[in-house]
Amino acid sequence: MKRTILVLLTTLLLSPVSLAQRRTRSTSTPAKPPAAETQRVAQVRTAGATRVADQIKFLSKFIYLLGGAISNISSVDESVSRNQASPEVAQQNQQAKTRVKGNITGFREALDKLEIDFRATPELQPYYIKLAGVASGAATAEQQAGNNQFDAAGRSLLGVVNRLTDVLLAMR
């Protein structure tokens, strides 16, 4: 009887110890986003960077062409002020000015949309801070072109290109 009680007590005392030794503690590891999610985020960033790069390309080409257009516009303006230009040439000059103003307006609208898209897309929001203000730079250029200050408008657009380049660098 004593032996049975002793065996029972020993079994009871050792069983929690043996159960405790069998338990393993698991530390929770932070959940990694699935590979598909990581890939989707990378695709969204790449698409955003491509849109910024496209705007840089378009603006750079436009600014290059704007230099020649400004030269022609200002020389015709001088001829018109001295009454040395025909009415057809003066009308063509006005059309050229209107086309330049329209192109700058198109850039401002595209940059507005780019800013809105970056602000509205969670994956692109970290880059919005650097992007914010490019549309207002284009709006300044638009206003300057509206006042026939095409050279100043070109300089404002150069500032926009610089800002877009900074965004692109931050995104790589």
Q: Considering the chain, what is the average pLDDT of its residues?
A: 87
| pLDDT over threshold 90, residue 102 | yes
Dump pLDDT digits (tens) for 119-150: 999 999 999 999 999 999 999 999 999 999 99
In the numeric block, the tokens 């949309």 are attached to 113
> Would the pLDDT of 16 be above 60?
no
Question: Which H/E stretch holds residue 103?
Answer: helix 87-120
User: Taking each helix axis from N to C terminus, what angle separates 87-120 and 35-81, rounded to the nearest 10 degrees?
Assistant: 160
Q: Is 45 exposed, middle or buried (0-12, 13-18, 19+ CB in 10 A)?
A: middle
Asked if residue 12 has pLDDT above 60, the reply is: no
**Lookup: tokens for 56:** 């840089």
So what's the pLDDT on residue 36? Answer: 81
CA 159 to CA 156: how far, in whole Å? 5
CA 94 to CA 34: how far, in whole Å?
A: 58
Q: Does the global pTM surpass 0.85?
A: no
Domains of the chain: 37-171 (1.20.120)
Q: Cα(101)–Cα(87) distance, rounded to whole angstroms?
A: 21
pLDDT of residue 21: 53
Q: How many CB atoms lie within 10 A of CB 54?
A: 13
* pLDDT of the residue at 101: 96
Read off the tokens for 81: 């002020």
Q: How many CB atoms are closer than 10 A to CB 72?
A: 12
Q: In this prediction, what percent of the chain has a pLDDT beyond 70?
A: 81
Task: Count Cβ atoms below 10 Å from residue 127 Cβ, excluding itself.
Answer: 20
Q: Is the separation of the CB atoms in 49 and 172 below 8 Å? A: yes
